Structure 1
Amino acid sequence: MPQAVTSELAGPPTAGRKRWTGRTVMGWTIVVAVGLVLAGVAYAWAERITTERLRVSGAQRLDVYAGSLENLLGKYDFLPSTLELSDDVIDMLQKPEDAALQLAVNQHLERLNRQAGSTTIYVSDLRGITLAASNWREPNSFVGDNVAFRPYVRDALRGKPAGFYGVGTTFLEPGYFFAHGIYRDGRMLGVATVKVNIEKLEKAWVQGADKVLLSDEHGVIFLTSVPAWKYKTLGPLSADVQRELAATRQYFSHALTPLDIRYEPTRDDGVQFATIRASASGSGADTPRRMLSQSLSLAPRHWQFIYLSDLSPARSNAQTAFLLACLLQAFLIVLYLYVRQRRRSLRLKLKAKEDLQHAYDNLELMVAERTYNLKQMTRSLSDEIAVRQWAEDKLRVTQNELVQAGKMAVLGQMAAGITHELNQPLTALRTMSDNAAVLLDRGRIEDAKSNLGIISQIVGQMGTITGQLKAFSRKSTGNMAPVAIQPAVANALFLVERRLEQEGVGFRLDVRQHDAYALCEGNRLEQVLVNLFNNALDAMSAVDKRQLTVTIEREGSRLLISVDDTGPGIPDEVRAHLFEPFFTTKEQGAGLGLGLAISEQIVVEFGGILRADPAPGGGARFTIDLPISEQGAVHG
């Protein structure tokens, strides 16, 4: 009945579904295409807006950098002409052989250079020979150098104040040179030159993804925010330019190689893009990188500032606008589908309500059937639980009986030894009692009392033997308590002592942990020890050297009792089945194979482990691993 109702509620597989027609597919294709076009328009609009912001920001930076450069150069433009005011300079140019005048001018230039913060100041005669310099104390002083080949010196000698950027031929230090003629009464006597370091301006330039460079009239980059671009060219140099630069030694030993940069045609709005390979910036990659390029000319020096703006923000904003447009359109589509689905859900809800009413009409029958099934299942589970409980109780009783049977088997094996132990005292008792009767007849009362005292001692010894056997044979209580290990070992040893003597087996007790107590049940622990002792004696029956060793030691919170023999040991294939019930390596009828299985079960119930390993000196070692008890105990 429930299956029929479920099938009825499910309804036809295709109910409520609408097939996709070719017209529907075409409509959704047009919607997606229009959405992509609108997203593309948003991408282009965002990219153009961001590019315009980058262009405005780049133009402002170019103005700031150009103003800083002009201010720096303007501070030193007047400095060479002030040397005309120094009488010492005029006298030295008129009397170049006067060493005192030369020294005075050197010292004057040194002080002036230090006060002005320039790099070097020096004075040359009309031949271009440097007569005095601010660095006259240095080993590579300019004094005596011929600088007539320098363009700024040639221009100054022609009466035209000059400015020039170049790399020094002495220290290879770049700088900007100001040169001005020195006159007296309208006659030129020499040239004064001031060298200024303008490299420090680079430190204030952009150190991010944007790049800045300054090139001369030949397109040689001499200042830039990218060290790898320095002394590169914006394009190949003509042969005439190369010869001119070589003659003036403007850039001295630097190789002027072209920078790998390609300019795109300027757009209608004045924006220009340049593509440059990333390897030119020293990044190690060789991927072309597209950047916004802006330039600013510096007259009258014919220099050109170029600012390259990173287009990553523009691309990122454009991508964001594209994604937002796509998300907005996706939201509108989802909203449309939601409204459409909502209307469909209302229709399905009405139909479901009808189906629910129909199912409710059949609910009572379904509940009655399910209740009956649950009662049947509950009854079966109760019967199964009762059977399991009975089986567990039976198993527990069987296990206890097996343990007791194991004890009886051990006592049976020791019967001959125990009989011998009791026969000797009994014989002595008979002899001593007969002697006591004779002594009484003869009136020797003291001698008779002495015999009776000896008889009492013998009876006490026999009571000790029978007491040990009784304690070993009684059933265990199953209650665990702190048990002293050494007495337990001594009690177990007592039961196999006769066999040790008969078979000539040596015994050694190695106590590394005195006053050791383990949490277990004493009687069953003695049974395990007796079983291990007997197994060890059986293993040594066919060997010459027979030694039984018991070791008691502590390992952390555990107490280890090891039983070592000098027998042939246990093969690996036997060790894997050693603790299985009814597995034995003894001859037929010599054992049932239950001793180790029962011993392991007893140790596990104590919360311990019984394991078999090779003994260090050969033979086998069985180790009883028990939880230690820090409390004193009464041996059970």
Structure 2
Amino acid sequence: MSIPPEPPIGQPNEAPAALPHARARRLAHLAWIAVLAGAIALGWTAYWWTERISIDRLRAAGAQRLELYAASLQNLLDKYDFLPHMLELDKNVLALLEHPGDMARRLDVNTYLERLSGQAGSRIIYIVDLQGRTLAASNWRQKDSFVGDDIRFRPYLQNALSGHPSGFYGVGTTSGEPGYFYARGVYRDGRMLGVAVVKVNIEEQERGWVQGADKVMLADANGVLFLSSAPAWKYHTLRPLSDSVRAGLAQTRQYHGLALPPLPIRDERAYVDGTRVITIGAANGSEARGTITPPLLVQARSLAPRQWTFLYVSDLSQARANARAAVLFAWVAYGFLTLLFLYLRQRLQAKEQLQAAYNQLELKVAERTARLARTTQWLTDEAEVRRRAEQQLHRTQNELYQAGKMAALGQMSASITHELNQPLTALRTMSDNAMLLFERGRVDEARQNLARISQVVARMGTITGKLKSFARKSNAELGPVSVHTAIANTLVLVERRLQLDKVAFTLDISQGDVYALCDSNRLEQVLLNLMSNALDALGTLARDVPRELTVRVTDAGEVVSIRVADNGPGLTDEARERLFQPFFTTKPQGEGLGLGLAISEQIVRDFGGSLRSEDTDTGACFVIALQAAAVDKPDGSNG
């Protein structure tokens, strides 16, 4: 649209009409420029805001999953930490280390290690002498047996020989299978005889890391990715390795036979919280079309003290697609409003003031209609997002419940190990006594000794059976559960701690059995969390102060109440306000995640009940309220 030329001199009547017309054209140009600038600004704002919201959601989800994965891996590693200690208690192992040439003893140890490895679920268990040579192994029957191998080059063996038990991840030089190695010296009368090594397969952790387009990786201190939900990135490095690092890895053979090439990572953006946006090229270094990954959001979580790093990689393709969709929607809405404005403006000019009022009303109706349409679409999208979030929350809660049980078992590992070590020591002593009694012909006394051995074994079976029952995953189906039995099963797990801490335990419960509508395994998990918290609180009291733990069960007809109370220091005002918030804890750092009460409250709420704290004069008191369940009694009645 061009500006018409000025009228020639000598036509004074046309000049006044031409000037307003030229001014209107200039204003129209400026108006269209403003419209275009507004569209650009609106599109940029919509893109930036939508991308920011999507990335914040990815950050929150990634941080939560990283915590769950770290807790799951830590529980798996802690599960086998006690296994090398057991080998120090076996007399055949000690005898073989003192007499390595005894072939009959070696056969006995090989058979024992094979059986122990199958029971514990470990990959391989083997015994190494002080010269670094394997004397016996659980895989002694296999072609790639470790028996006779020289492993002096392994860092975990060198640390154990120097008196420092250690763990080590590496690829086996004999079998080629990766695993995590536990190594600990075997001593007798303060003198080291050899080293016990346990190899555990942690590769199964990768199966639970698959999250659609998201990826989870675990890197060591050198940046080597040894676990990854993306197979193409496994055994690559986050950065090029220096010559000195590669020389050290070659000497220890940690990644035996693997090239460890670096991933072609390009940084696009870094945030103040440590997260980064990157792209990754093809693993072979090619940068051909289609070999570069979409933008990825990387979150890191350190796993001390092993100097490992969890990396959660979220695909930003959907976030940026949402941002582009938001820009398109904003432009369509902007264009619609612009056209509508021009249409109404034209009608306003034609119908003067009265028509202007009518058109103004139409404009308001159109704006409200558009707003209502956007609100309706937003509500529809929000409902779908909430439905998917609730499904994911349900799955995450089940995993969190299981992780909570594993964490509780890990915290009780010291007392449980002590509980099992005592009968093991007694079994060894009584078995030696039985042999002497048989040799001396004292059969009756030997029979009595064997009977006591049977009782000790039954006691150990009860403890391990309760641990196995507690650790299994619940089926989440509700039914009548005996409160008596649930409390009894929980007491088996904390009985040793009650004895060690000298806590007076009182159980106030009716003679008749009481049934509640819940899941037995999860009810025991809640009781264990409450009793463990009470024992932790009682542990802060002075040694001369009496320590008391009371469990009282009341049946009020439709509601069954279980009260767990102690005479500890009680709860502060801050603790009462944030009692059931996740990751809030009053314990020292490293002694708790702050998830126990949050998980317990959610479990009881899933039962249709409630978990609350009550004010008491001394200590703390927690009340579990559950719906009573009717069961068929032997006489045919319901109760």
What is the TM-score of this pair, normalised by structure 2? Answer: 0.50
Q: Which has the larger radius of gyration?
A: 1
